[in-house]
A and B are shown apart, each in its own frame.
Chain A
Amino acid sequence: MCNRMFATLVLALGVSLPAWAQEAPDAMVKRVAEDVLTQIRSDKELQAGNQAKVKQIIETKLVPNFDFARMTALAMGRHWKSATPEQQKQLTDQFRTLLVRTYSGALSNYRDNTMDYKPLRMNAGDTEVTVRTEVRRQGQAPVQIDYSMEKTAEGWKAYDVIVAGVSLVTNYRDEFSDTVKASGIDGLIAALNKKNAGAPPLAK
C-alpha cells in the first residue's frame, strides 16, 4: 500500500523512478514490447529482415527479460532432474538459441500489430504473476498473449509465453519428452544442436 502511494507520489511529481526501484511486471512488458515495436516500425533494415540486426534487437532487448534456465527446466518436466548439471547447461543454451532463432524469423511480421495491455491482477508480495496482453491486427480477431513472470533479484523475468492458449513451455514439453524417451537426454541435446545448426525440420 505504502509502496503504491510512494509510486503515485513520485509519478505525480513528474520525477522518474530511481533506477534501483523495481519496475512492475506489467510496466516492464509494456516498455519492452513498445520499445521493440517502435524499432521495427522505424527501421527499414529490420523490416527487410536483416538477420544480424534482428538478432541484435532480440539479444539486447528481449533475451535479458527471460529466465531460460527455468523455461528449460519446465519444458524438461520430470526429465530435468535426471540430467547432469553439464547436460542442463547444454539444454538451456540450445533451447535459448532455438527460441532466439525462431523469434528472429518472426519479428518483422509484427510491424503492423498493436498491443493492448490488460490490467494486472497482483497482490503485494506476489513473486509470480501473469501479465495479459492482446495483439491486434487489422481485420482479425485479437490474439491473447500472456506472459508468466517471476520476481528475481534482477527484476521480473518471463518464464513462459502463452499464445492463444498454447503455452510455449508445455508444447515443448511434449517435444522434449518424446525425444528423451526415444533417444535419451543426450539424444535431445543432439537433436536441438542439429536443429540450431540449420537442419531442415524433421517430419519423421
Chain B
Amino acid sequence: MTPRIGALMRAATVALAAATLLLAGCATTQSRVDPFEPWNRAMFEVNDVVDGKVVKPIAEAYVKYTPPLIRSGIANFFGNIEDLFVGINNVLEGNGNRAGDDFGRVLLNSTFGVGGLFDLASMMGIERHNQDFGITFGKWGFPQGPYFFVPLFGPTTLRDGTGTAIRLYLGPTTYIFNDVPIRNVVYGLGGLDARANALGTESMVDQAALDRYRFIRNAYLRARNYQVFDGKPPPEVDDPGE
C-alpha cells in the first residue's frame, strides 16, 4: 500500500467515525435512515430535471448508436479498472481467495484482453465480484449513516459516499491519462457507461414504484446491507414507529 493510500484511509476512517457519531445524535427526528428526507427529495427532483433533460437522452443515444462490440469494450475497460479496486477491498476485508480471483482477472484482461477491452476472465469462468470501499467500511463495523440522494450520482449514504469519494480520488485514470482533456473525456465516458447500464433498472423502477424516491431509497439500503452481510443480513424488525 502506497503512503498516499495509507494516509488517506486513516483520514477517511477518522472522518467517518467522527461524522457517524455526530450525525447519530441528531438523526432521531425524521426517519432513522433518512433524516434529511426533504433535502434529499429536492435533490431527487433536481436530478430528474438535469438527468431527464441532458444525461438520460445522451445515454439512450449512446446505447442506440454505439455498436454492441464497442460498447461492451468500453464497459469492459472500466470494469477492468474496477476489478482492481474490488481486489483491493477484498484484501482489506480479508477475503484472500476472492482477491486472488480479482487480481487474476485484472492480469488476464489487461494483457490478453487487450488493456481490458475484452473480458476474457469471465469467459474462462473467473467471475466478477461486487465489492467497494463502502462495503469494506460496513464489514469493519461502520453503520450506513444517513442516506443521501446526490444528483447525477444517485443514492448513497455517509458511509458509501465516503467510499465513493476515496475511490474517485484514487483514480487510476489520473495516472494513466496525464492529459487533462483526455482524462475528462475518459471520466465522461465512464459516467456515460454507468448511466447506460442503469437504463433498464430505471424503467423498471418507474413502472413498479408508487413513490420512486422511497422505493429507490429502501431498495438501495437493503441491497447494500445484503452485500455487507454477505447475503445473510439480520432479520428486519417491523418499524411501526417510523
Contact = CB atoms under 8 A, between A and B. Distances in A.
B210 A179 contact: yes
A175 interface: yes
Interface string A14-48: 00000000000000000000000000000000000
Interface residues of A, number: 32
Given A139-B75, A166-B222, A174 B207 contact: no
Interface stretch (A2-10, A59-67, A80-88, A140-148): A140-148
Contact of A144 (B225, B231, B233): B231
B208 interface: yes
Contacts of A203: 41, 44-45, 48, 211-213
B222 A165 contact: yes
A171 B215 contact: yes
Instruction: Name B's interface SS.
Output: helix
A144 to B, nearest CB: 7
B213 to A, nearest CB: 6
A106 interface: yes
A139 B215 contact: no
A66 to B, nearest CB: 15
B210 A141 contact: no
A145 to B, nearest CB: 12
B179 interface: no
Interface residues of B, number: 39
A100 to B, nearest CB: 10
B18 interface: no
A165 B231 contact: yes
A170 B222 contact: yes
Given A106-B203, A174-B214, A204-B213, A165 B208 contact: no
A14 B219 CA distance: 45
Given A106-B203, A166-B223, A195 B210 contact: yes
A31 to B, nearest CB: 24
B206 A201 contact: yes
A178 B238 CA distance: 13
A164 B211 contact: no
A27 to B, nearest CB: 23
Contacts of B127: 141-142
A122 B154 CA distance: 39
A201 to B, nearest CB: 5
B211 A139 contact: no
B149 to A, nearest CB: 11
Given A139-B122, A141-B129, A202 B231 contact: no
Given A98-B208, A203-B45, A203-B213, 14 more contacts: A78-B238, A105-B203, A139-B76, A141-B129, A141-B130, A164-B226, A175-B215, A178-B214, A179-B211, A201-B207, A202-B210, A202-B212, A203-B41, A203-B212
14 contacts: A78-B240, A101-B207, A106-B200, A139-B75, A139-B76, A144-B231, A166-B219, A171-B215, A174-B218, A178-B214, A201-B206, A201-B210, A203-B44, A203-B45
